[in-house]
């Protein structure tokens, strides 16, 4: 029995050690590291989602409002959430970003509300609309409600992606691709593309949460795993406020310490 348990304990130990070293280097609210590479092993991605669900449950309180981003990692979180706090409200952090339906925050807020027996709202705002349409949309009561809720939400949960991977996934136009290339974008989070210094390169024209809103939240759960995202996460940490809870895999953790 001991022989079976021992290697496992060693791995847990090294995982905790990684998180400990990261905490010495980055001053964030918390850092949690999952063993392995989420791109190699789907269970690692599930584990990231499970830990996100657990951490979120610990912080939630009755009536809490949670801003939620899209993506395949976020889409897994509801699988691990249970009803525990009353009257939770999940809202899309931003409008459409060009993702397929299952990965849109409008879908994910529905799954999260169902899992927690809470509520959700949808945000009907397409991505990259003209400035004039954007202004008239903002005046719509259903839309302005979401803008206001995003301003006062207590929590944000979001994924982080590689800039060009996300741009391709969203089929962005040639001009945007060029802008990202010229600006040397490396990462992306809820519609904001940034370079290795965490400087904004491009922002999808849509409605909802702004980077400036992050600092006043009780906690931001930033979740990412996989070798291809390591530069993106490193860059994101240049702009992440101190109230961020970072949930990453071992591959990214190693890179952040390199």
Which residues in this chain contact ligand F6P in the complex, by CB under 6 A?
A: 69-73, 97, 99, 158-161, 166, 188-190
CB of 74 to ligand F6P, least distance (A): 6
Nearer to ligand F6P, 99 or 213 (CB): 99
**DSSP H or E run through 224:** strand 219-224
- Least distance in angstroms from the C-beta of 177 to ligand F6P: 16
Which are the contacts of 103, defined by CB distance < 8 A and separation ≥ 6? 70, 71, 72, 74, 75
In the bound state with ligand F6P, the residue whose beta carbon lies nearer, of 60 and 97, is 97
Alpha-carbon gap, residue 94 to 106, rounded angstroms: 9
CB-nearer residue toward ligand F6P: 22 or 236: 236
Min. distance of Cβ 118 from ligand F6P in angstroms? 20
Return the bridge partners of 34, or none: 249
Smallest gap from Cβ 31 to ligand F6P, in A, equals: 18
Distance between CA atoms of residues 69 and 47, nearest Å: 18
- Tell me the closest approach of the beta carbon of residue 181 to ligand F6P, in angstroms: 18
Query: Nearer Cβ to ligand F6P, position 39 or 85?
Result: 39
Name the E strands within 51-177: 65-68, 89-92, 119-120, 155-159, 161-162
The answer to whether 14 touches 45, Cβ cutoff 8 Å, is no
Nearer to ligand F6P, 85 or 203 (CB): 203
Number of Cβ atoms within 10 Å of the Cβ of 182: 10
**DSSP character at residue 15:** H
């Amino acid at each position: 029995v001991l022989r079976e348990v021992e290697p496992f304990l060693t791995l847990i130990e090294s995982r905790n050690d990684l998180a400990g070293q990261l905490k010495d280097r980055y001053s964030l609210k918390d850092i949690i590291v999952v063993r392995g590479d989420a791109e190699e092993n789907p269970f690692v991605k599930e584990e990231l989602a499970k830990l996100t669900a657990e951490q979120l449950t610990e912080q939630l309180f009755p009536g809490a409002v949670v801003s939620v981003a899209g993506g395949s990692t976020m889409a897994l979180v509801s699988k691990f959430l249970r009803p525990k706090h009353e009257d939770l409200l999940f809202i899309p952090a931003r409008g459409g970003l060009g993702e397929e339906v299952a990965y849109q925050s409008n879908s994910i807020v529905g799954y999260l509300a169902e899992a927690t027996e809470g509520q959700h709202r949808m945000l009907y705002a397409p991505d990259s609309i003209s400035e004039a349409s954007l202004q008239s949309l903002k005046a719509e009561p259903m839309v302005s409600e979401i803008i206001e809720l995003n301003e006062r939400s207590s929590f944000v949960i979001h994924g982080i992606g590689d800039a060009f991977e996300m741009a391709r996934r969203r089929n962005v136009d040639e001009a945007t691709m060029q802008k990202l290339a010229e600006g040397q974008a490396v990462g992306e989070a809820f519609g904001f593309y940034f370079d290795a210094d965490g400087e904004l390169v491009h922002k999808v024209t849509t409605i909802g949460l702004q980077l400036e809103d992050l600092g006043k939240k009780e906690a931001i759960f930033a979740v990412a795993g996989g070798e291809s995202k390591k530069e993106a996460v490193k860059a994101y940490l240049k702009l992440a406020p101190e109230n961020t809870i970072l949930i990453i895999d071992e591959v990214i953790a190693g890179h952040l310490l390199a």
